[in-house]
A and B are shown apart, each in its own frame.
Chain A
Amino acid sequence: MTSFVEKPRSACALAGALSTISALPDVIPIVHTSMGCGGNLSGANSFGSGYWGAGYCGGGSIPTSAVTETEIVFGGNDRLREEIVSTLELIDGQLYIVATGCMTEMIGDDTRGVTNDFIAEGKPIITVSTPSFKGDSYSGYEIVLNGIFNGYLQKTERTDPKLVNIFGVIPAYDPFFRGDLEEMARLIRALGLEANTFFTPDQTFENVRSAPSAALNIVFSRVWGTSFAEEFEKKHGTPYWATELPIGPEASDAFLSDLAERTHVPRRRVEEVIDRENKIYYGYFERTADVFCDSDFKYYAFTVTNSNYAIPLVRYARNELGWVVLDVFVTDQLNDIQKKTLLRAFEDIRFDDTGLLFETDAGAIARAMVRRHPENRGERYFDGHSPLFILGSSIEKAVAQKRGAAQLSISFPAFNRMIVDRGYAGYRGGLHLFEDIVGSLVFPKG
């Protein structure tokens, strides 16, 4: 039995489905559940991801069957059918996705049956089953991807050897998803390849349609989207590569070399790209050394993020900043297989004595920090792991304040900052992360 959770950092599968759909071009959600779910969840998604906003057909614009007690008793199929008819009439989209919530799943509505009638008429519509008790926001992302790419999209004979699809970066729950995707696409394109990011403003539904012809799927996650990518491979024949999102030049160099090998890009070409990117990166970075070193900005650190950011971040902090990461808290709810996969990836990188801890509960994380790294309680000589920086969510702000630590919100929920096109991945992202970390320190110096 799972236990209760204090201040959960992820909501239900429907929440993840809605953030995912909301980031896709011209894809329209139809929420089959009661009135509040869609609004409540998309509001929370936006708030927790640095005020992402509602978008084209998100937030209060989301069509919903708005079932009430009547439908709970008599069934909601008719109401859903009516809502779909109206939505198709009113809302302009390329694909409509009926996403279910707890209520209609519990009463056993035949959602798929209702949608099938519309499919038979040639309407572009699918159903995804996203009640909370099937999973959290992260699984909602996977469920939607499966529905679209492995369900809706047809097999194609055409393969585009230069086309790469990017998956694994989760809208909202990776608050920097847009900036990260843009930077990854920029680097992939620099090698002469094409990239589908799906979730950035430059994309259209044509990118979604073209996905089955891609030569490679890159999944920037060890745990989210990998089983989806496996299914994708089975259906469309596209192989996948699950790896970490590279943050900073060292990780990005390695990523580009690896990618070049997998896509048969000549070594010379990738070296040129790496050289150019490093020249730019260090052209900026070199000048920051004065304030960074004079101000003694070397820190101990805790990271509190989802599994996607955990390893990339610790790699960056250790390799690019020379920091000592004490513990890495992974906050998404993982099953044992997912935990093992992540631990294996973590072992590959091997950091001194840094712990990788799986903990979702806000209170438990705060307690573990104190238990594992006690503060000085009046001893004359005490190595209290100071100065300390917490790279976590806005929830960690209170913990940091209590401990006199510095803090930057970089994981969900991040609500004490605005996030627009900022990303931390790649070379540019490495500079941005540096800018934000040091930026949070330079003013209240001392």
Chain B
Amino acid sequence: MSYYEQAAPPVRDQRLKIGDSFAGSAREMLECAKSGCMLQRNRLFWQTGACQMALTIMMAATVERSAIVMHGPIGCGTQLHALCVQTGKGKTKRGKQPEPPAWLSTNLQESDVIGGGELKLREAIEYADREFRPEIIFVVSTCAPNIIGDDVEEIVRRAKESSAAHVVSLHCPGFKSRVVASAYDAFYHGLLRHLPLEPEPWRDFVPHTSGRDDFGQIKYAHIKARTVNLWNATSIGPGDEGELERLLGALGLKTRVFAEYSNADEFRLVSQAALNVSMCDVHDDYMLSFLKEKFGTPYIMAGMPIGFHDTRQWLKSIAARFGLENEADRLADNEEAAAREAIAPFLPKIQGKRVLLCGGVVRVGTEAIFLKELGMEVLTFRAYHYESGAEKIYERVADELPCARIAVSNQLFEFCNQIKRLKPDLVISHNGTQGILAKLGVPSIQLFDVDRSFFGYAGVFSLLQRIAFAFRNTSYQKRLSAHVKFPYRESWYDMDAFHYIKD
């Protein structure tokens, strides 16, 4: 049975070569992944992070006119207060209704853990349908119901029969994997199994009798043949989506952006495209291969359009599918010339500076290569996890930065050790770590930030602008770091940052 037919999706540990504990050169990393040793690696010490549930609801909370039913104890989903503020902003910036999704917790108690929580779940779904009248109800299955064996899928199946809303189950128990990237598959699995992804007659179009209105048909087919679906991620803001739409638009291609910040009406158009394009190689393979299987839509994973080289390659690989490779090259020439001129004043300010990067595996690899090309010294970088999808970019890292000892780590104690020992001039890091970096006395900028640009030519300019800005006045970090005590014993900083990784 294919994954897509199963009630719950597999975690990536089951379907890909994946890892979260490694230090070495890019070449060693690739070999370790291929041989499978990456899978085995672990640590003697772990610090807490997120779970696949956290990222799954992060995605679900972006969907307009939806409600979320957290099936679990009352603590699971408490971050929705925060997520809904973020996604409200994201919706507004994309011209959508900022109204936050209503959300409920089934608030599982000791008696439910013993007797099962299915009844409560059914009542919560019915209530959500009746009270909020959402288009989609996401039913999020957390750790506890998975351990006690609640049949969430059966409850959802029955709820679908009696609900006005689409009921979409999202199976994402955190204990299944330490690697949160499985969340993307969990969210997509819910979409692909429970939401209509094709236009509905009488709602999206009027079915026509044969031989008539063929101009309409031709026109539709023509547009569809030039429509590209771009698959976004939580780290990708409206600025980035806009930049890529602009560039593809210049090539005469129409774009639609999925799946975050889409609504039920838009999801029905998923199948109406000539090509699916991922914006991050480790984000969408699960969904895109499903769409290929189901609708025959081809897809490409062309890396992240960060920096001149990768933006050009990204554009060209899409353009090649439409016979527009030459146009894409000329477009990139034109864009690049203007952007290079624009960033010229920043270059002397950043060249030779020692930088450390930390965050998503594809993004840090791509950006590290670009920063090296611009003349920065890349000390090292840290990828939050590694998986087969990142192979392509790490082959290039192995060539471009052969000496860098890179790490697969999302662990703060290792991060702190590296910062103290390497003393970078600048750190470009994942959201959630900037406070730690300031307390360590290091200037830093966000690796991504949905309010700013990172992709394409707008992204190049923005990146340079932000790096140069970070170097102007670092008093805040200096003063703060002089007064902050970290929890690690002094002896930790004499040890290798990856001392606690075990084979």
Bound CA span A35–B124, Å: 27
Assess the B75–A35 pair: CB atoms within 8 A.
no
Assess the A48–B112 pair: CB atoms within 8 A.
no
If A5-B107, A47-B82, A63-B47 touch, does A91 touch B120 (CB 8 Å cutoff)? no
- Encode contact with A along B35-61: 1 for CB under 8 Å, 0 otherwise: 000000000111111111110000000
**Looking at B52, B111, B178, B180, which has the most chain A CB atoms within 10 Å of its CB?**
B178
Question: How far, in Å, is A338 (CB) from chain B's closest CB?
Answer: 16
Bound CA span A72–B432, Å: 29
Stretch at the interface among A54-62, A147-155, A287-295, A379-387: A54-62
If A35-B50, A106-B148, A133-B110 touch, does A44 touch B81 (CB 8 Å cutoff)? yes
Contacts of A67 in B (CB 8 A): 175
Assess the A103–B147 pair: CB atoms within 8 A.
yes
Bound CA span A30–B68, Å: 30
Interface residue B294 (Cβ < 8 Å from any Cβ of A): no
Assess the B104–A5 pair: CB atoms within 8 A.
yes
Assess the B112–A4 pair: CB atoms within 8 A.
no
Contacts of B111 in A (CB 8 A): 1
Interface residue A92 (Cβ < 8 Å from any Cβ of B): yes
Interface residue A24 (Cβ < 8 Å from any Cβ of B): no
Stretch at the interface among A8-16, A321-329, A340-348: A8-16
Interface residue A136 (Cβ < 8 Å from any Cβ of B): yes
Contacts of B124 in A (CB 8 A): 4
Interface residue A64 (Cβ < 8 Å from any Cβ of B): yes
B contact residues, range = 35 or more
Residues of chain B from 125 to 162 with CB closer than 8 A to chain A in the complex: 127, 131, 143-144, 147-148
Contacts of A68 in B (CB 8 A): 175-178
Interface residue A43 (Cβ < 8 Å from any Cβ of B): yes
B124 to chain A: closest residue by CB: A4
Interface residue B106 (Cβ < 8 Å from any Cβ of A): yes
Bound CA span A53–B439, Å: 12
A102: contacting residue among B53, B73, B500, CB under 8 A: B73
Bound CA span A112–B309, Å: 56
Assess the A43–B82 pair: CB atoms within 8 A.
yes
Interface residue B376 (Cβ < 8 Å from any Cβ of A): no
Contacts of A65 in B (CB 8 A): 46
Bound CA span A57–B487, Å: 6
The number of residue pairs between A and B whose CB atoms lie closer than 8 Å in the complex comes to: 209
Assess the B74–A38 pair: CB atoms within 8 A.
no
Assess the B174–A34 pair: CB atoms within 8 A.
yes
B75: contacting residue among A59, A132, A394, CB under 8 A: A132
Question: How far, in Å, is B481 (CB) from chain A's closest CB?
Answer: 15
Question: How far, in Å, is B88 (CB) from chain A's closest CB?
Answer: 10
If A4-B104, A34-B175, A66-B178 touch, does A14 touch B75 (CB 8 Å cutoff)? yes
Contacts of B69 in A (CB 8 A): 4
Question: How far, in Å, is B214 (CB) from chain A's closest CB?
Answer: 50
Assess the A83–B73 pair: CB atoms within 8 A.
no
Contacts of A440 in B (CB 8 A): none
B14 to chain A: closest residue by CB: A69
**Looking at B47, B52, B103, B111, which has the most chain A CB atoms within 10 Å of its CB?**
B47
A8: contacting residue among B74, B102, B120, CB under 8 A: B74
Contacts of B75 in A (CB 8 A): 11-15, 37, 40-41, 132, 137
Interface residue A266 (Cβ < 8 Å from any Cβ of B): no
Assess the A1–B120 pair: CB atoms within 8 A.
yes
Assess the B143–A103 pair: CB atoms within 8 A.
yes
Contacts of B103 in A (CB 8 A): 6-7
Assess the B47–A64 pair: CB atoms within 8 A.
yes
- Encode contact with B along A289-312: 1 for CB under 8 Å, 0 otherwise: 000000000000000000000000
A41: contacting residue among B78, B432, B489, CB under 8 A: B78
Contacts of B436 in A (CB 8 A): 60-61
Question: How far, in Å, is A114 (CB) from chain B's closest CB?
Answer: 15
If A6-B103, A107-B147 touch, does A86 touch B45 (CB 8 Å cutoff)? yes
Interface residue A335 (Cβ < 8 Å from any Cβ of B): no
A102 to chain B: closest residue by CB: B144
Contacts of A91 in B (CB 8 A): 487-489
Assess the B79–A43 pair: CB atoms within 8 A.
yes
Contacts of B326 in A (CB 8 A): none
A83: contacting residue among B46, B110, B433, CB under 8 A: B46
Interface residue A423 (Cβ < 8 Å from any Cβ of B): no
A105 to chain B: closest residue by CB: B113
If A102-B143, A413-B81 touch, does A60 touch B49 (CB 8 Å cutoff)? yes
Residues of chain A from 215 to 233 with CB closer than 8 A to chain B in the complex: none
Interface residue B492 (Cβ < 8 Å from any Cβ of A): yes
Interface residue B236 (Cβ < 8 Å from any Cβ of A): no
Question: How far, in Å, is B281 (CB) from chain A's closest CB?
Answer: 23
Assess the B120–A415 pair: CB atoms within 8 A.
no
A40: contacting residue among B79, B108, B120, B148, CB under 8 A: B79
Bound CA span A383–B435, Å: 51
Bound CA span A60–B357, Å: 18
A60: contacting residue among B52, B143, B412, CB under 8 A: B412
Interface residue B271 (Cβ < 8 Å from any Cβ of A): no
Assess the A60–B432 pair: CB atoms within 8 A.
yes
Bound CA span A227–B413, Å: 38
Residues of chain A from 49 to 91 with CB closer than 8 A to chain B in the complex: 53-54, 56-57, 59-69, 71-72, 82-83, 85-87, 89-91
- Encode contact with A along B83-114: 1 for CB under 8 Å, 0 otherwise: 00100000000000000001111111111110
Interface residue A124 (Cβ < 8 Å from any Cβ of B): no
Interface residue B212 (Cβ < 8 Å from any Cβ of A): no
Interface residue A237 (Cβ < 8 Å from any Cβ of B): no
Assess the A40–B54 pair: CB atoms within 8 A.
yes
Interface residue B451 (Cβ < 8 Å from any Cβ of A): no
A137 to chain B: closest residue by CB: B75
Assess the B107–A2 pair: CB atoms within 8 A.
yes
**Looking at B105, B174, B489, which has the most chain A CB atoms within 10 Å of its CB?**
B174
Contacts of A90 in B (CB 8 A): 45, 413, 488-489, 492, 500
Contacts of A3 in B (CB 8 A): 107, 120, 123
Interface residue B485 (Cβ < 8 Å from any Cβ of A): yes
B110: contacting residue among A11, A54, A134, CB under 8 A: A134
Bound CA span A64–B49, Å: 9
Bound CA span A64–B175, Å: 13
Assess the B51–A4 pair: CB atoms within 8 A.
no
Assess the B104–A44 pair: CB atoms within 8 A.
no
Bound CA span A83–B44, Å: 6
Interface residue A260 (Cβ < 8 Å from any Cβ of B): no
Question: How far, in Å, is A366 (CB) from chain B's closest CB?
Answer: 11
Bound CA span A6–B54, Å: 18
Bound CA span A8–B105, Å: 7
B81: contacting residue among A1, A13, A31, A47, CB under 8 A: A47
Assess the A87–B45 pair: CB atoms within 8 A.
yes
Question: How far, in Å, is B325 (CB) from chain A's closest CB?
Answer: 43
A4: contacting residue among B45, B120, B147, CB under 8 A: B120
Bound CA span A54–B433, Å: 11
Assess the A63–B45 pair: CB atoms within 8 A.
yes
Contacts of A39 in B (CB 8 A): 48-51, 54
Contacts of B54 in A (CB 8 A): 36, 39-40
Assess the B174–A37 pair: CB atoms within 8 A.
yes
Q: Which 3 A-B pairs have the closest CB atoms?
A: A36-B51, A12-B75, A38-B48
**26 residue pairs A–B, Cβ–Cβ below 8 Å:** A4-B107, A4-B123, A4-B127, A7-B103, A8-B74, A12-B74, A12-B76, A12-B78, A34-B51, A35-B46, A35-B178, A36-B48, A36-B54, A48-B78, A48-B81, A56-B487, A60-B412, A61-B47, A68-B178, A69-B176, A86-B500, A91-B489, A93-B487, A106-B113, A132-B75, A363-B102
List 13 other contacts, CB 8 Å, given A39-B49, A90-B500, A107-B147.
Answer: A3-B120, A28-B487, A41-B78, A43-B432, A48-B82, A60-B47, A60-B412, A64-B46, A66-B48, A68-B175, A68-B176, A68-B177, A71-B175
- B residues in contact (CB < 8 Å) with A: 44-54, 69, 72-76, 78-82, 85, 102-113, 120, 123-124, 127, 131, 143-144, 147-148, 174-178, 180, 412-413, 432-433, 435-436, 485, 487-489, 492, 500
